[in-house]
A and B are shown apart, each in its own frame.
Chain A
Amino acid sequence: MTQDAADLSTDQVPGLIELENVSMRFRHQSVLRGINLTFHRGETVCIIGESGCGKTVLLKLIIGLLRPTTGVVRFDGVDVAKMTSEELVRLRLRFGFLFQGAALFDSLNVYDNVAFGLREHHVCDEPKIREIVLARLQEAGLPPGLEFKKPAELSGGQKKRVGLARALALDPEVMLYDEPTTGLDPIMTDVINELILQTQKSHEKAGIVVTHEMKTVQKVADRVVMLYPLSRIDRGDPQVIYNGLADGLDRSPDRRVHQFVRGEAGERLREMAQNRDHDA
Chain B
Amino acid sequence: MSVATLKSDDEAVQKPTTPVHRLGEHVFDVVAEIGDFGFFSIQAMVWIVRKRVRWSVLVPIFYEIGVQSVAVVAITGTFIGMVLAVQAHHQFAMMGLETRLGSVINISLVRELGPVLAATMLAGRVGSSMAAELGTMRVTEQIDALTALGTNPIQYLVVPRFLGCLLLIPLLTLMADFMGVIGGAVISTRVMGVDSFAYWKHSRDFVEWLDIMSGVFKSFFFGAVIALISCHRGFNSSAGAEGVGKAATEAFVLSFIVILFLDFVLGLGWNSVYRAVWPENSGLL
Contact = CB atoms under 8 A, between A and B. Distances in A.
B7 to A, nearest CB: 8
B281 interface: no
A104 B5 CA distance: 38
A83 interface: no
A76 to B, nearest CB: 17
Given A28-B10, A28-B13, A120-B150, A103 B1 contact: no
Contacts of A42: none
A230 B149 contact: no
Given A30-B10, A231-B6, A267-B3, A121 B144 contact: no
B1 A106 contact: no
Contact of A95 (B6, B140, B148): B148
Interface string A36-65: 000000000000000000000000100101
Contacts of B7: 235
A116 B149 contact: yes
Interface in A88-109: 89-90, 92-93, 95, 97, 99-101, 103-107
A235 B150 contact: no
Contacts, number: 88
B271 interface: no
Contacts of A235: 6-9
Contacts of B6: 30, 230-235
Interface residues of A, number: 40
- Taking residues whose C-beta sits less than 8 angstroms from the other chain, chain B's interface range is 20 to 34
B150 A97 contact: no
B150 A101 contact: no
B260 to A, nearest CB: 32
A36 to B, nearest CB: 17
A271 B2 CA distance: 11
A74 B153 CA distance: 24
Nearest to A232: B3
A160 interface: no
Interface of A: 25, 27-30, 33, 60, 63, 65, 85, 89-90, 92-93, 95, 97, 99-101, 103-107, 116-117, 120-121, 166, 170, 230-235, 237, 256, 267, 271
Pairs A-B, 6 closest by C-beta atoms: A103-B145, A103-B141, A97-B148, A235-B8, A117-B149, A89-B150
